[in-house]
Each structure stands twice: as structure tokens, then as C-alpha cells.
Structure 1
Amino acid sequence: MSKIERGERELRKVDLLVEIAGYLKVTVGDLLGQPVLLEDEDPEAQDIPAVRDALMSPRRLSRVLFARRGDTAVVPRHVAVFAEQTWSDFQSGRIGLVVKALPGLIESAQALEELDEPASRWAVSARIHHLAASTLSKIGESDLAWLAAERAMHAADRSADPLVLASAARAGTHALLAAGRYEEAIELGSSAAEWLRQDMIADDPSAISLLGMLHLRVGVAAARHDDRSTANDHLRLAEELADILDGDGNYWQTAFGPTNVRLHQVSIALDLGDVAYVVDHADDVDTTAVPVERGACHRIDMAKALSLVAEDERALAFLLEAEGQAPQLVRHSATVRQTVKALQRRAPSTGQASSPLMALAERCRAVG
């Protein structure tokens, strides 16, 4: 434990990180030192406290006490369009823009739920809260991510749409993974996948994509729980579903297809501690067919693996490439900060102040 605290030992497997967090009685996010505020290029941008205020508004506690007046009605179609635009920002790695939009979207989702119609209002609310859960998970706000995921599941239940519910369950796995609750993520993802498989329309690409992503999320959870057999089983199921699709797609913002399965094969191998495999396949996957966010995350994984075998120049190159694609995502990533700190420990002291590594460290708050 003391070696980890002093930075003399690197954490190669996520399950050890969870064990340490449990021993210290803190969350994984607390242990990694996740940022509380999210910076954006816009100085007027709202940050995480604004998202927290929207999620924890007392208006959510009672429709009777906080009945809305008629002049505050929202238009479901307009909210749905804005939500999809913000999903596009998320997949483009523009996390700051997403955080800026989330407070208003969450408040609009609540207003939609208070309407008597249309029935689609529940689906829109579920999608908004799914986006919130995914974003908050990405930046380490696991408690808020769980709250958003619970809201997504509640709205999805009311929507009576199996695809909406499957998508919301995916959000739930994101939140559970962020909190280090891997067994629960396996349970939720597996239950949702089994339920969707029985209820889905054959050859529906949306259903296939959602089912495939659920299997991938279970695979990730199993790998982080150090369950290699279960991880491989769900990877195989996802691969079979990807083969049914005609190439890579992005139904329901899943980015599901053969490329995403290959990306998960690499990231799951990293979670299982198969660093040599990841390094050997670092340049094998072409990410041009998937959204920017997925490609950037893959490069972050590659950098971490290369750092673990002290291939520091290649690791830094991957990080800078990822930053070029999605700067906000990279600069607020706990994995990036850990990797940069490992690179700094091995970097020569001369000339470090003006080096590209030090500049990156300052941008992602890995110094000071």
C-alpha cells in the first residue's frame, strides 16, 4: 500500500484498485482524485455543481407541492432534438459542451414527465438521463451518475418501449462500473440482455446494437471483476451480433459493430492484465469508423498499456493524438492523469519544464 501511495508501484489491474478503495472505505473516484469542476473553452459554461442542482432539485420530490404553471410548458419535440444534438457532442468528445447543456436538459426532462401526454415524453426523459449518467461516469462523478441512471431506468419503465429500457440499462452499467460495483453491473447487464433477447424483433439493427452493447458492458464488468471466462463469453456473444450487422453502425448512439467489438477486446485485455497482448495490437484497430469519443478512449488505453511496459515515447504520442481528437475528454480523464504521472516519474529532469509531457501534465492537472 505504501509503495502505491509513493508512486513506486503501478496499478495494472482494476480489481486491485477496487480492493484498495474498499479497504480505505472510499469510492474508486475518490481514490483516483477525479476533478470536481469541469472546465470548458466557454468561461460562462456551467459545471458539475449545476448538474447536481438539476438532479437534486426539490421539484422532483412532489408534483403536488411543485405543480408547474401553464406558461412553463415544454415542447417534447424540441427537447428531443436538443437531446440528440447533445448526444452528438458527447460522441464527438466535447464533454464540456455536454456538461453545459445537461442542467437545462435535465430540467426539461422533469417538465416532460409532468405532462399528461405524449407517451414519448418518457422515452425522451430516459435518453436525457442516460446521457447524464454516461457523461458523469466518464468524468468520475459516480454518485451523480447512479442518480441519473436510476432516473433513466424509471422513465424507461414508464415508456413501455423495450429499446428505451435496454438503452437505460446500459446507462446503469456505466454508473455501476464508475462506482466499482462490478458484480452489480454484471447482474444488470446480463438481466437486460436476456430480457431484450426474448422481446426483440429479429434482424432489427437497433435491438441488435443495444443487445451487443449490453454484452460488451458485461464483458468489461467481468474483466474488472477478474472473471476472464465470463468476459470472454460476452465478448463472443457481442462478436456474433456484430457479424449480423452490415458493418459498423451507430444505432441509439451505441457505435456498435465489428470495430467497437475489437476495441472492447483490447480494453478488456488491459483490464485483465494482458498488457503484452494490448501492446502487440496497439496499432491493429482502425478507429475511423467509430465516433471520436471511442477512438480517443482507445488511444488512452493504448497509452496506459505502453506506459506499463515503459514505452514512454509511444505512450505520450498516443495521448497527444487522443488530445488532438477530444481535448476535453483527455484533460478530465483519471486514466490519463495516472499515465502522465507514470511517464513523469521516468522522464529526465533536464528540460522537463518545457517538454510536451510537462505541458500535457499541466493541461490535465497531473502536476501540483
Structure 2
Amino acid sequence: MTENLTTGERVAWYRRRRGLSQEVLAGLVGRTTDWLSKAENNRIALDRLSVITALAEALDVSLGDLLAEPTLMEWSTDSGHRTVPALRAALMDYKQLTPLLGGAGDEEPPALQDLRAHVGEVLDAYQASRYGLATRRLPLVLADALAASRAYTGREGEEAHALLALTYHGAAMVLGKVGESELAWIAADRGLAAAQHSGRSEVTASLFRAVTHCLLATGRSTAAIQMVNDAAAVMQPELGSASDEYLSVYGALFLTGAMAAARSEDRAHTRTFLREADETAQRLSTDANHLWTAFGPTNVAIHRVAAAGELGDIQIAADLGPRIDTSGMPVERRARHSLEVARALSAWNRTDEALTILLEAEQDAPEQVRHHYMSRELVIGWIRGTRGRPSRPVADLARRLRIVAGG
């Protein structure tokens, strides 16, 4: 119902549904009535998640309600005609809970080598921003991973549990990207349980990161910060002789923490987490993609820009963002950085540059741009701010994002 409204207009819509005056809502979030009036009328951009989260809490709605991220996954060659509902059914199958309920069948478990390849394909698809492909493959891979975790024992059993945990991690990340935060939490929770049976500390740490992402996606930034601190305390004893995989997951955890801190407007924790991530990246000395983290100096720089944007330091984001060479990063990382740079440039009225960057990101990662609140907010803002008809590129992009009616 509110998909084609700006965030400010959605705030006004929910405020009226709650029967609140502008004065009351403004007071609940520590702002002036004038500020809220301008935000609801698009004279102030609501593009910082810390502010949007505060408004969501005051209105007693979810963060997703105010962001209105579309969860309808477009049918494509990649996705087929069974998308998120099929993955939801797989995750909510009660037989997954315990073998006592009939989850263990007589079927032959998959070879671990084949399962390893299939799990890798799902996580590769996520990093390529091919969410439809990952979603289509996940129910089958999840079924195989569950069968393997119940059939194998000993070291093979540990490997099977590690692969099951990584499958759940992939599910959590994909579902988070398409706005299914509650399902993502189920996947991350089950993934963490599986990881603890794997005997592989780097896999457990990877699921710590997945849980942190889920907390962040639901606006629970303070809990996410605490999660990072708790997980780091568990991980630190092994850092002295850590593998590159372990270091990568450890550093990536702090990057997620930096975003949580920025969304809480906690500058001290933001600096601390970014510094810890940077020091870990220097130990690795190069960009890598161990355990699908894309961790290294470049990803740290990407997160510095994203954190600056969340903290409202738009000038820093606009100056630093375009100078980062992301060409060696996975598509998902490149596109996410492009969205951040486009937002910063748009805030400085460099709309043409921002549009060019957004269109390039759409070429590389159409599904990611389609599902991210930031791209939709930018395009709606450009349309609202144009006298007369928007330019042809903006109008065409709006149609592709399903913002306005069109063929």
C-alpha cells in the first residue's frame, strides 16, 4: 500500500494511522515539529537508518514497514516460478527440528564433495547478486545438507554440519537482502546451531556474523553491537595462530559491527570497530574472499564510506567513495558501494553523477538494486523533486523498480 511513497510520506501515513500529531511524534524521537513536518513533506531526506529506526520504534512498526523494501521476487530464468515461498516452506518444515519427527529418511545422503560444490554455488550466487538463482537452489541444497548432517559421523559428520551451517548462512543473507528479515533470523539461528556441531571455529564465527546481520536488518543496532563484542571475546584466544579464513571472518564481523554502531550514532564504537577491522586486514595484507567474506583493505574502505553515510558525514562519503577501486570485489560489494556513493552525491545535488552510478550498479546487479531501499528512495526523491516530467532515464529506471505504473 505504501510502496510508492517516500520514507517521509510513509512516516506521515503510519503517524495518522496511530492517531499521533506531528508534535507528539517529534517529541518521541527528540526532534522538533518543524523538522518532522519537513521530513514528511520531503524537504528533509530521511536517508539515515538510525533516524528511521527511531521513528519506527515510536510508531510501533517494523523498520521494514518504513523502508517498504519489496519482497516480491521477480520471476526470471534464474529463479523459475518458485521463489521465497518455496524457501519459506523448506525452513518451516517441522521435520527439520529433530529426527524424532521423521526428518531422517532412507534416501542415500549426497556425497560430501558434491554437497560442498552445491553450497559454494549458492554462496557464489549471493555474492553475484543473483538472488533468484540462490533462492531456487537453496531448498534442494538445504534438504541435502540436512540429510548429510544426519547420515555422516565422525570427521565426515563435522564436515556435513559445517556445510549445513554455511547453507543456512547463505539463506539468511539472501533473505535479508530481499526484506524477509524474520525468515533470515530463523536461518541464522539454525545455522549457528549446526556450526557448533562442525568443530570448525571459523564456521561458527561466520554464523556469528550472520546473526549480527539479522539483528542489524531488524533495526536492533544496540544488540548487534553487543553481539560483535561477545563474539569477538569468544574468537580472540585463537587469533595468535589464526588461519586466513579465521582472520577474514573476524575482520568481517567488525565491519558489520561498525555499521551497527554507525546506525546507533555511536561514533566511538564505529571508530573502534573499523580500526580493529583495518588491523586485521593489514595482517592479511591483501583482498581475499575466504569463506565468502570479501574481506581485506578494500572492504574496510567500503565500510568507512558506508559508516560515514549512516553517521550523516555525507561530505566524507562523497569525497572518499568515488576514489575507492572496487573492481576486484564481488558484484554484491561493488553494487552496495555504488548505492552509498550515489546517495552521497545526490545529497550534494550531483544528481546526474548519482544517476549514472546507480544505472551502472543496476547493470551489474539488477536484483540487488531492485530490492534495496536506498535505490528506491533515491529514484522517488528525484521524481518528487522534478518540476514537470522526470527525465527519460529516471522514468525508465522508476518503471524497472516498479515505482510507477508502466509496461
Give the TM-score normalised by structure 1: 0.95
> Alpha carbons of 1:62 and 1:324: their partners in 2 closer, same or farther (altered >3 Å)?
same
User: 2:322 aligned with 1:322, yes or no?
Assistant: no
Offset at residue 296 of structure 1 (A): 0.6
Superposed, which structure 2 residues align to 1:129-148 within 5 Å? 129-148=168-187
Using the alignment, how far apart are the partners of 1:348 and 1:103 within structure 2? 47
* Cα-Cα RMSD: 1.7
One-letter code aligned to 2:269? T
Offset at residue 62 of structure 1 (A): 3.5
Percent identity, aligned pairs only, is: 36
Offset at residue 247 of structure 1 (A): 1.3
> Alpha carbons of 1:67 and 1:214: their partners in 2 closer, same or farther (altered >3 Å)?
closer
One-letter code aligned to 1:150? D
One-letter code aligned to 2:42? G
Does the 8 Å CA contact 2:345/2:351 hold for their aligned counterparts? yes
Offset at residue 58 of structure 1 (A): 1.7
Does the 8 Å CA contact 2:152/2:160 hold for their aligned counterparts? no
Offset at residue 224 of structure 1 (A): 0.5
Does the 8 Å CA contact 1:201/1:207 hold for their aligned counterparts? no
Using the alignment, how far apart are the partners of 2:362 and 2:151 within structure 1? 42
Offset at residue 146 of structure 1 (A): 0.7
One-letter code aligned to 1:65? L
> Alpha carbons of 1:66 and 1:7: their partners in 2 closer, same or farther (altered >3 Å)?
farther
Q: Quick one: which of 53, 58, 69 aligns to 1:23?
A: 58
User: 2:220 aligned with 1:181, yes or no?
Assistant: yes
Deviations 1:267-317 (A, max 9, x none): 000011101111122311000121111011000111112222222111111
One-letter code aligned to 1:112? A
Using the alignment, how far apart are the partners of 2:70 and 2:86 within structure 1? 15
Q: Which moved more, 1:249-258 or 1:275-284?
A: 275-284
User: 2:71 aligned with 1:32, yes or no?
Assistant: no
Q: Which moved more, 1:354-363 or 1:4-13?
A: 4-13
Using the alignment, how far apart are the partners of 1:45 and 1:106 within structure 2? 19
Q: Quick one: which of 76, 87, 90 aligns to 1:54?
A: 90
User: 2:206 aligned with 1:171, yes or no?
Assistant: no
Using the alignment, how far apart are the partners of 2:304 and 2:289 within structure 1? 19
One-letter code aligned to 1:362? R
Does the 8 Å CA contact 1:40/1:328 hold for their aligned counterparts? no
| SS of residue paired to 1:281 | helix
The aligned counterpart of 1:362 is 399
The aligned counterpart of 2:282 is 243
Deviations 1:69-119 (A, max 9, x none): 322533333222111012111111212211111222222232233224222
Superposed, which structure 2 residues align to 1:267-278 within 5 Å? 267-278=306-317
Does the 8 Å CA contact 1:337/1:365 hold for their aligned counterparts? no
Unaligned runs of 5+ in 2: 1-10, 13-36
The aligned counterpart of 1:339 is 378
One-letter code aligned to 1:139? V
Offset at residue 6 of structure 1 (A): 4.2
Offset at residue 5 of structure 1 (A): 4.2
One-letter code aligned to 2:317? V
| SS of residue paired to 2:100 | coil
Deviations 1:148-170 (A, max 9, x none): 11011101111121101100111
Does the 8 Å CA contact 1:303/1:315 hold for their aligned counterparts? yes
The aligned counterpart of 1:112 is 148
Does the 8 Å CA contact 1:50/1:103 hold for their aligned counterparts? yes
User: 2:102 aligned with 1:66, yes or no?
Assistant: yes
Superposed, which structure 2 residues align to 1:135-284 within 5 Å? 135-200=174-239, 202=241, 204-284=243-323
Unaligned runs of 5+ in 1: none
Offset at residue 40 of structure 1 (A): 4.0
Using the alignment, how far apart are the partners of 1:9 and 1:76 within structure 2? 54
* Aligned residues between the structures: 366
Using the alignment, how far apart are the partners of 2:387 and 2:142 within structure 1? 47
| SS of residue paired to 1:367 | coil
Offset at residue 246 of structure 1 (A): 3.0
One-letter code aligned to 1:335? M
Offset at residue 180 of structure 1 (A): 0.6
Offset at residue 49 of structure 1 (A): 1.2
| SS of residue paired to 1:70 | coil
Does the 8 Å CA contact 1:40/1:97 hold for their aligned counterparts? no
Using the alignment, how far apart are the partners of 2:375 and 2:130 within structure 1? 16
Using the alignment, how far apart are the partners of 1:209 and 1:39 within structure 2? 33
